[in-house]
Each structure stands twice: as C-alpha cells, then as structure tokens.
C-alpha cells in the first residue's frame, strides 16, 4: 500500500544542514494500522509528510496504492493526494467556517457538486458522531470534537490511506481513547490503511498492528505490536520521552 525506498530529506538551518530523514525504506501493508514512535526531532512527522509528498524527498521514491508519487507531475499528484487523508495534532480547522463547512472543504476543492457534497458531509459527520454539531463553529467545540471534525474532513474524499500526525497528544486520556476508537472503526469498517505518528507507546499498544521506531532520522526497527521484541522496544521508546 505504502512503500518508501531509500527516502531522505534534509533542511538547511542557521546552524547548517540538518538530515531529518536518512535513507528510510519501509512498507506499510494494506489495511494495517502502522505506528511510528520516537522522540521529538526523530524524523517521524517529516517521514509522514514524505508519504503524501507534502515534503518532496531529496533522494529515494514513494509509492502509494501503486502510484509512484515522486515521479508524478503536479496535477496528477494533487489528484492522487485525494486518496490520502491527513489529520494533525492541532486540528487545522478554519475558524470562520461551520463544522459542515470545514468537512466540505476538500469536496469543494475536488469540484464535487453541491447536493452530493452536502450528502457526503452528513455521512462523514454521522460516522464520527457529530451530526448534531453541523452548524456550530470550531470555537464552540471541545478538543475531542474538533479532532472528530478533522477526521470527518479527512474522510470526505473516501481516502484509502489516513496519515495521523500526533492526533491525540493534545487530548486527555478519555478523549484519546475515544479518538482511537474512531480510528479503529475507520480501519475496520471502511478498510482504510492508517499510519499514526506518536510519542506515546500506550497509543501504539492500543491501536497499532506494527510499530516502527525512529531516532535521528533513521528507522531503527519495525516490530509487530505485542511481538517478542515489543516489550524491550516499548521500554526504549518510553525512556526517550
């Protein structure tokens, strides 16, 4: 479903070049929930953005659902990205749009007709349990409700892949459990492949089938969650925090 081959990304900073991702090769299976764990600055979020080429790799290539994104012209890349949803730690909602208006945004950009768009918005809000909040604004919502709106927006174009960048780190434990339940349901009922970046091994244990650990831009290991090496890797990941 998602394959990265020798993908690298560097930035130039005031203190010199910084290698955010270093020659990472990995494969995420269709239908799995795959976690990436590591400390701040390990390269997890950059790697996630390489998966939909929001960050263009300096080297290597990225293949998603059979499409080599790194070789696509910009127009085709925009179309391919419609099958890749993304949610973030801080929601990225538009505050002067209602809940339904936020969810409708990717459909508007895709040119979906108004009547069809309204139907899809209702479907997505019902799926995340917010049908009664359609005409409210983000400022009227709790953090968990805002994240549900962000998830509904990411589902609007019926993605095959959902990329999640620290989606629960700003939430309390109960709300975190609720959001992870929504993601689990998306995976189970809709068959969406999910990649989740986190610093919290409890999140990985709760939802992921496999976990990859990153450090200093490098992929250290990939293990089944609950596999023979998971307990040692989990302790190592928690010690980094």
pLDDT digits (tens, 9 = 90+) for 1-32: 999 999 999 998 888 888 999 999 999 999 99
Instruction: Band the pLDDT of 220: cuts 50, 70, 90.
Output: very high
Termini Cα distance of the chain:
30
Q: Where are the alpha helices (DSSP H) in the chain?
A: 44-50, 74-81, 99-109, 114-127, 143-155, 173-190, 201-207, 230-240
* Whether the predicted pLDDT of 149 surpasses 70: yes
User: What pLDDT band is residue 164 in, cutting at 50, 70 and 90?
Assistant: very high
Mean pLDDT of the chain: 91
Share in percent of the chain as helix, strand, coil (round to 5): 40, 25, 30
Confidence of residue 156 (pLDDT cuts 50, 70, 90): very high
Supply the pTM of this predicted model: 0.90
Residue 186 has pLDDT above 80, yes or no: yes
What pLDDT is recorded for position 13? 81
Tokens of 27: 């494969």
User: Which residues contact residue 190 at a Cβ distance below 8 angstroms, ignoring those fewer than 6 apart?
Assistant: 155
Average pLDDT of the residues in 120-137: 97
Task: Give me the torsion for CA of 219, 225, 227, 232, rounded to 10°.
Answer: 60
Name the CATH superfamily, with its identifier, for domain 2-83+159-240: P-loop containing nucleotide triphosphate hydrolases (3.40.50.300)
Residue 28: the pLDDT is 97
User: What are the sequence ranges of the domains in the chain?
Assistant: 2-83+159-240, 93-158
**Given this model, what pLDDT does residue 99 score?**
98
Task: Report, as an integer, the average pLDDT of 50-66.
Answer: 94
Parallel/antiparallel/unpaired status of strands 210-215 and 218-224 = antiparallel
């Amino acid at each position: 479903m998602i394959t990265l081959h020798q993908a690298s990304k560097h930035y130039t900073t005031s203190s010199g070049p910084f290698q955010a991702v270093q020659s990472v090769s990995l494969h995420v299976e269709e239908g799995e929930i795959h976690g990436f764990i590591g400390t701040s600055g390990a390269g997890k979020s950059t790697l996630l953005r390489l998966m939909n080429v929001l960050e263009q790799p300096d080297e290597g290539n990225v293949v998603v659902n059979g499409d080599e994104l790194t070789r696509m012209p910009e127009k085709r890349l925009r179309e391919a990205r419609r099958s890749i949803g993304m949610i973030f730690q801080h929601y990225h909602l538009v505050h002067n749009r209602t809940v339904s208006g936020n969810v409708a945004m990717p459909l508007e950009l895709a040119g979906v007709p108004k009547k069809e768009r309204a139907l899809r918005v209702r479907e997505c809000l019902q799926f995340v349990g917010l049908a009664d909040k359609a005409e409210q604004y983000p400022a009227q919502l709790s953090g968990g409700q805002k994240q549900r709106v962000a998830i509904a927006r990411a589902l609007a174009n019926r993605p095959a892949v959902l990329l999640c960048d620290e989606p629960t780190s700003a939430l309390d434990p109960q709300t975190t459990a609720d959001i992870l339940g929504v993601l689990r349901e998306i995976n189970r009922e809709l068959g969406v492949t999910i990649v989740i970046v986190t610093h919290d091994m409890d999140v990985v244990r709760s939802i992921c089938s496999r976990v990859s650990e990153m450090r200093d831009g490098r992929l250290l290991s990939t293990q089944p969650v609950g596999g023979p090496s998971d307990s040692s890797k989990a302790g190592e990941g928690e010690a980094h925090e």
